[in-house]
Structure 1
Amino acid sequence: MECMEQKSEESMPAKLPVFHNAAVKDVKWSQQGHFLLSCGYDCTSRLIDVEKGLETQVFRQDQIVGVIKLHPDDSNLFLSEGSKGQIKLCDARTGKVVHDYNQNLGLILDVEFTMNGKQFISSSDVSQSNASENAIIVWDVSREVPLSNQVYVEAYTCPCVSRHQFDSIFVSQSNGNYVVIFTTTPPYRLNKYKQYEGHVVSGFPIKCNFSLDGKKLASGSSDCSIYIYDYQL
């Protein structure tokens, strides 16, 4: 991994020591910017002190870890998900798993906390099980139970979920070549009258996310383009 200090266009990347034994799948910054959380094909999640260049914690699993997400209010907690459909909430202070979330899911594609951090949304590959109602599930963080698995019932997987910074909604990238909108409050309703389309997903893990001011939604596309949508229209 490399870290780039944004002082000038000529800044050179600072290389961190190699801690993973296989390819890295996901990397997240801590809220304070002092640590990196990474995961990968070596079935681990690793917490790295960027300033010291030291690995401070290792979380080992029996699955390839493809997605990690830090808790919005407590940066010591993070979700870790992987190839066997297992979702775990881990504590960086103790190095232990706090909660396990099991629903016999397929490969976990993405995860996102709600604004208050009391629920999270998971997206999984249900193409092998034909259980489209499990494509997107809203979970209760503390009780380890799904609150709703009837959020999205179309016959498409969703490689990305992203929460709006200010409004009580989240969006999901669909392999149907559109981005769909849901509420983050019960009953987690699908917006049937508005979606963002024009880009192409074509089965690739295409991501989407909101701008920092929440006014724009950006999506990648399999035609090698980036599409910018006006969220407020």
Structure 2
Amino acid sequence: MDLLCDAYSNASDNDEEEQPKRHKSSYTSTNPPKPYFPSPISNLHTQQPLIPGSYVSKRQRAYMSSISTTPVVPHSPSFTLSGSISEADIPHNILALLKSNAKGHHNLNSVSEKLSATLSGHTRAVNAIHWSSTHAHLLASAGMDNMVCIWNVWSRDKKKACALNFHNAAVKDVKWSQQGLFLLSCGYDCTSRLVDVEKGMETQVFREDQMVGVIKFHPDNSSLFLSGGSKGYIKLWDIRTGKVVHNYHRNLGSVLDVEFTTNGKQFISSSDVSGSNISENSIIVWDVSRQVPLSNQVYVEAYTCPCVRCHPFDPVFVAQSNGNYVAIFSTTPPYRLNKYKRYENHGVSGFPIKCNFSLDGKKLASGSSDGSIYLYDYQSSKVLKKIKAFDQACMDIAFHPVMPNVIASCSWDGSILVFE
């Protein structure tokens, strides 16, 4: 009864019809009325669960109604949501192409110069871009402004879906996982970071004692990835345990790139040799499981190679050379350089410019220090097309994983362009 009396005496409604009736009381000087202090509304935030059948005031009902219809959005200062990662706002014709099963193995006769999208948001150079293979409308970019951006490329509304600011220094590389909306990035803060983009949460941090310049997921096991850094260490990490599975070290210079072979049993590393007079160790083929180099004299010219890429089908790989050409090698012993074929005419000029094969392997695309995109015929090594894209160096090229005639590119000036 005392609890009921207190509840009624502290009721906060102003409507008399909802107040319980009370008998009039006479007060004397020796029996003054007790002062009435209505409960502040802030107390409603900490109330205990209501007992069924108990009295609920109008104000309390209104408050409960408001909190039941307002979704709780987790806030993180390192995650800025400015658009949507959903497919809902993509034009139907583009969505139909994204949902197709083409996987890029036909209609590769031409890549036009039609500009499909201009993506602006980075304030400094963009080092790397990567399409999601599972959510092909999303493109990720890594910038020197410490930021990773997720772009909903064909959205009618805001193309910049979100920005990730988990890194404390420049971001060098970014890769989508083959499993869902997980994104891996690395940078000058000596970490690789795994982010659940859908939840906007950083799920794991992999710390090293070197700046991390490159990461690469294993082609057959998305729980494993390679990282290479400024001290020449290459590590194979297991995401499930957060620990290093293997270490690969051979007194290397800074690791510039790593690339798994198509079978996943070997990988190729490229290292900086500018501090020495010999080019030994500039490109090394490693055995993944035995942690030993299978060959360290693959490329004997005195140039560093900022990028290595394996052909999707043929047993060859290419290396972007600071000699202003792309060299081609075999991925089978003795891993020889093809002295009779190279991809020339573009410029590198000391920039870490990347190249990539099309999904059917018939084309090779390369960025260039003059801001152009160069498209080469893989077999003949002839230039098929030159697209002037940027005023400053074109850093990376990425073929779309589904639509064969779509390529994305990024620049030293911080801009990203998508052509179709």
Instruction: Point out which structure has higher relative CO (alpha carbons under 8 A, 6+ apart).
Output: 2
Which of 120, 126, 140 in structure 1 is aligned with 2:287? 140
Distance 1:134 1:17 in 2: 35
Alignment of 1:93 onto 2:240: yes
- 1:113 maps to what in 2? 260
**Distance 1:16-1:201 versus aligned 2 partners, 3 A rule:** closer
Count of matched residue pairs: 233
TM-superposed CA distance for 1:82, in Å, is: 0.5
Instruction: Provide the C-alpha distance between the structure 2 equivalents of 1:66 and 1:106, rounded to a whole number of angstroms.
Output: 12
Give the conservation status (yes or no) of the 8 Å contact 1:156–1:174.
yes
| TM-score computed with the length of structure 2 as normaliser | 0.54
* Unpaired runs of at least 5, structure 1: none
Query: What letter matches 2:322 in structure 1?
Result: N
Change (3 A) 1:127 1:6: closer
Partner of 2:209: 62
Secondary structure of 2:280's counterpart equals helix
1:13 corresponds in structure 2 to 160
- Structure 2 alignment gaps of length 5 or more: 1-147, 381-420
Q: Is the 8 A contact 2:149 2:164 kept in 1?
A: no
> Rg bigger for which structure?
2
Query: Does the 8 A contact of 1:16 with 1:53 survive in 2?
Result: no
- Structure 1 counterpart of 2:273, from 112, 126, 136: 126
Change (3 A) 1:7 1:127: closer
Q: 1:224 to 1:16 in 2, by over 3 A?
A: closer
The reply to whether residue 41 of structure 1 matches residue 203 of structure 2 is: no
**Alpha-carbon distance, 1:7 to partner:** 4.2
- Quote the offset at 1:202 in angstroms: 1.2
Worse-superposed segment, 12-21 or 95-104: 12-21
Q: Give yes or no for the alignment of 1:76 onto 2:223.
A: yes
So what's the TM-score if we normalise by structure 1? Answer: 0.96
Judging by fraction of residues, say which structure has more helix: 2
Identity across matched positions, percent: 78
CA offsets 1:168-226 (integer angstroms, 9 cap, x no match):
11000111111111111111111111111011111111111111221110011111111
Secondary structure of 2:173's counterpart equals strand
Q: Which has the higher mean CA deviation after the structures are superposed, 129-138 or 59-68?
A: 129-138
Q: Which runs of 4+ in 1 moved over 4 A?
A: none
Q: Which residue identity does 1:61 align to in structure 2? A: E
Q: Which has the higher strand share?
A: 1
In structure 2, relative to structure 1, the CA distance for the partners of 1:197 and 1:95 (3 Å cut) is: same
- Could you tell me whether the CA contact under 8 Å between 1:110 and 1:159 is conserved in 2? yes
RMSD (CA atoms): 1.2
For 1:212 and 1:131, the matched residues in 2 are separated by 35
Structure 2 CA distance for aligned equivalents of residues 17 and 198 of structure 1: 36
